[in-house]
Amino acid sequence: MRLKGLTALILTATLILAVALASLTVLSQPTEAQAKDAFAKLGCTACHNGKVAKTWDEIVARWKGLSGKYTSLNDFVKAEVTEEVKTRGYGEPKTWDELFILMSTFVGKKREDTKIVEEYLASLLGIGATPTTPTPTPTPTPVTSPATPPAEERGVSFILAAVAAAILVLILVAIAFYLSRRSA
């Protein structure tokens, strides 16, 4: 009888953990309104006005259409962004990090200030906005501004934490299954 109670407790804890994890995934993702607001407040619309560069709505529509096409943010930047930015004379970002370091430099902001915009845009592509390999800060040609510090060091990413939690849930379910079979 004691093992059945323990099994029920483990199964209940597993269910609660799974629901909490699913809620965190939904709640941690910025909304389009939040990202668009941050985009405007950062000053991105000074260039992303439809004349110099694509507007927010054009970017969102294009990136939504590319959802699932790329397996990494760097692949996306190399295939879809580098040539366009280079052609306009604003540098040659080859990675996700370089792209957002470059863009934040244009508006005189720190890379970490663009986090909401980065996370939302990455979500449109179906890829998490986790840091890639550290890259040197690109120097934009049309703007003279102080050097931007390298991308901030981050702790455990949300995706890594979610995977660890999912593994924990699977282990708890396996233990509960084993204990229920053993007591029967």
pLDDT digits (tens, 9 = 90+) for 129-170: 554 444 455 555 554 444 433 333 334 456 666 777 788 888
What confidence tens digit (pLDDT) does each residue in 83-109 have?
888 888 888 999 999 999 999 888 899
Residues 114 and 42: beta-carbon distance below 8 Å: yes
Mean pLDDT of the chain: 77
Would you state the pLDDT for residue 145? 41
**Rounded to whole angstroms, how far apart are CA atoms 39 and 118?**
10
Would you state the pLDDT for residue 27? 55
* Closest C-alpha among 70, 81, 74 to residue 134: 74
Neighbours of 4 (CB within 10 A): 12
Q: Is the pLDDT of residue 54 over 60?
A: yes
Residues 138 and 93: beta-carbon distance below 8 Å: yes
Higher pLDDT, residue 36 or 22: 36
Would you state the pLDDT for residue 172? 79
What confidence tier does 128 reach under pLDDT thresholds 50, 70, 90?
low
Question: Rounded mean pLDDT of 64-91?
Answer: 89
Question: Rounded mean pLDDT of 115-136?
Answer: 72
Would you state the pLDDT for residue 22? 61
Question: Residue 21: CB partners within 8 Å, gap ≥ 6?
Answer: 162, 165, 166, 169
Would you state the pLDDT for residue 178? 80
